[in-house]
Amino acid sequence: MGNPHQDTAMLYIIGLGLGDEKDITLRGLEAVRSCSKLFLEAYTSILCVGKEKLEEFYGKEITVADRHLVESEAESIYGSALVEDVALLVVGDPVCATTHTDIMLRALEIGARVEVIHNASIMGAAGCCGLQLYNFGQTVSLPFFEGEWRPGSFHPKVAYNRKGAMHTLCLLDIKVKEPDFVAMAKGRTVFQPPRFMTVNVALRQLLEIEEGLAAAGEGGAYARDTLCVGMARLGQADRTIVAGTMGELLDVDFGAPLHSLVICAEDTHDLELEMLKQFWVGADTKRLEE
């Protein structure tokens, strides 16, 4: 005999937007209130409010899904969607990270029904600086350098974008609930404090990779005088947007997380440059008119 709930139960993957608890869509809120279980994916991005604010507004308890739960025990999220409504809450939009796509596919494999409810994401909000979204190329992710590990796999993509007159959106690394391996080696379970990459760190790492390639006779994708736009807390009332060269943005204080960065195309359109003037780091905007 088949499962009587199979045709009605649902796994909702719901975008929360970029701001606070009130950025959820009406459709998303209705789905949340129909669910027996709520999980908040809390390692690919964060909101400016904690789960307590969400619980108060939604009227439901929420389980925080850290990296271990999402990657290693994801069945505990989608498994019960065969018999009851379950929601995975995602900062931004659900389809902007492969992590959520993987959960969707695994849920479908066991026969669960899945519904995605979209919301605003950094992929669209980046256009608020005045750069046209249809002029963006491949998006890249910038991970924290660790020890001698200096990953530069993003560099060819940035070079390709810039040569094709396209901007590059750089998504900056966050580290939430990362294990302290030194403590674990001593038999203690300890997690490192959360870390959020700033625009400043991203620029230093970008320039380090470029300088290393240049020393080897390669490189040439960008330089300290390359026009960029640093952004922080998009979708929130205290957002910060500053345009300038890589060198000029190195010392700008962008404030609290989350940060993102756009490396502008080699040939940025005049209309885009006109929009960027309002965010220019220096008082002299004549250089944008050259």
CATH classification of 11-120, choosing from 3.20.20.70, 3.40.50.10540, 3.40.1010.10, 3.10.20.740?
A: 3.40.1010.10
Q: Which residues of the chain have pLDDT under 70?
A: 1-7, 177-192, 283-290
Residue 22 CB burial class (10 angstroms; 0-12, 13-18, ≥19): exposed
pLDDT on residue 88: 95
Strands 174-175 vs 86-90: parallel, antiparallel or unpaired: unpaired
| Local structure of 113: helix, strand or coil | coil
Integer Cα distance of 232 and 279 in angstroms: 13
Integer Cα distance of 271 and 67 in angstroms: 42
Task: Evaluate whether 112 touches 39 at the Cβ level (below 8 Å).
Answer: no
pLDDT on residue 139: 97
Integer Cα distance of 158 and 8 in angstroms: 45
pTM exceeds 0.85 for this model = yes
Give, in order, the Cα–Cα distances in Å from 158 to each of 130, 250, 262.
20, 19, 10
Domain topology for 123-289 = 3.30.950
pLDDT on residue 2: 44
CATH topology identical between 11-120 and 123-289: no
Q: What are the residue boundaries of the structural domains of the chain, listed by start? A: 11-120, 123-289
Strands 11-15 vs 63-65: parallel, antiparallel or unpaired: unpaired
Among the listed residues 262, 259, 275, the one whose alpha carbon sits nearest the alpha carbon of residue 168: 262
| Local structure of 217: helix, strand or coil | coil
